[in-house]
Amino acid sequence: MKKTIIFVICFMAISLNFNKVSSQDIIMPAPDKTGGKPLMQALNERQTIRAFSKDELTLQQLSDLLWAGWGINRPDLKKRTAPSARNVQEIEVYAVLQGGLYLYDADSHILRQIHNKDIRSFCGTQDFVATAPLNLVYVADMGKLGKKEGDVIKDSDLHWSYANTGFIAQNVYLCCASENLGCVIRGMVPKEKLAPEMGLRSNQVIILSQTVGVPQN
């Protein structure tokens, strides 16, 4: 009887867990939190790269980049690798891959698929954007700051979100330097064209985008 109860509980726990993951989501390996170059070496090698090879990123690289950028590093407090003003954590990191649009779910360290269209060409006006393997899009969910759909959002409402995004983007820069990847943070983003392709609500605001890939030799 005791064994049956334990079996039923285990089965329910596994089923519940599976329900949370759709088959299109990307389940990444755990980030490598102990590897990489020493911090001072990564800082010395941090740079903007705008020419990328055709190589895809590995799942491990994707995992390390997302965790370094905006992952949870203190699970008991749900706090992150980057600071955020008043700990509102309104920045959402979307990953635009050839296979579709994904939202980084930091709690479970999974990329949740939003759709399966290749929208890389909408992420920027520079030619490398459409062919690089990954564009991260940093979006401020102003709903977390009390803005409802249809509310006017002024530039001055977004000051903290720009600052918060800067910290995340620098983490990604340092992770790229550490893993011999290249990246460029970009303000040149056609936001009016990209937002509908991402299906964003009117109280979600695109802040910046960051292209990542393997540097071209």
Binding site for ligand FMN (CB under 6 A): 47-48, 50, 126, 184-188
- Contact between residue 168 and residue 95 where contact means Cβ atoms under 8 Å apart: no
Q: Which is nearer to ligand FMN, 31 or 90 (CB)?
A: 90
For residue 128, the minimal CB distance to ligand FMN (Å) is 9
Q: CB 204 → ligand FMN: shortest distance, Å? A: 19
Residue (110 or 194) nearer to ligand FMN, CB: 194
We find the least distance from the C-beta atom of residue 165 to ligand FMN, in angstroms, to be: 9
d(CA 217, CA 214): 9
Cβ-Cβ contacts under 8 Å for 48 (sequence gap 6 or more): 183, 184, 185
Q: List 96's β-bridge partners, or say none.
A: 101, 135
* Smallest distance from ligand FMN to CB 188, Å: 3
Residue 142 token pair: 């102003």
Q: Residue 100 or residue 190: which is nearer to ligand FMN going by CB? A: 190
Handedness of CA 58, 61, 66, 72 (dihedral sign): positive
Nearer to ligand FMN, 37 or 50 (CB): 50
| 3-class secondary structure, 82 | coil
Q: Which is nearer to ligand FMN, 109 or 191 (CB)?
A: 191
The number of CA neighbours under 13 Å toward the Cβ of 61 is: 19
State the nearest-atom distance from the C-beta of 168 to ligand FMN, in Å.
12
212 torsion bin: left (phi>0), alpha (psi -120 to 50), beta (else):
beta
* Residue number with CB closer to ligand FMN (38 or 187): 187
Residue linked to tokens 């990489």: 36
Give least dist CB 47 to ligand FMN, A: 4
Question: How far is the C-alpha of 193 from the C-alpha of 185, rounded, in Å?
Answer: 19
- Helices assigned H by DSSP within 101-158: none
**How far is CA 97 from each of CA 40, 84, 122, 156, rounded to the nearest angstrom?**
31, 26, 12, 31
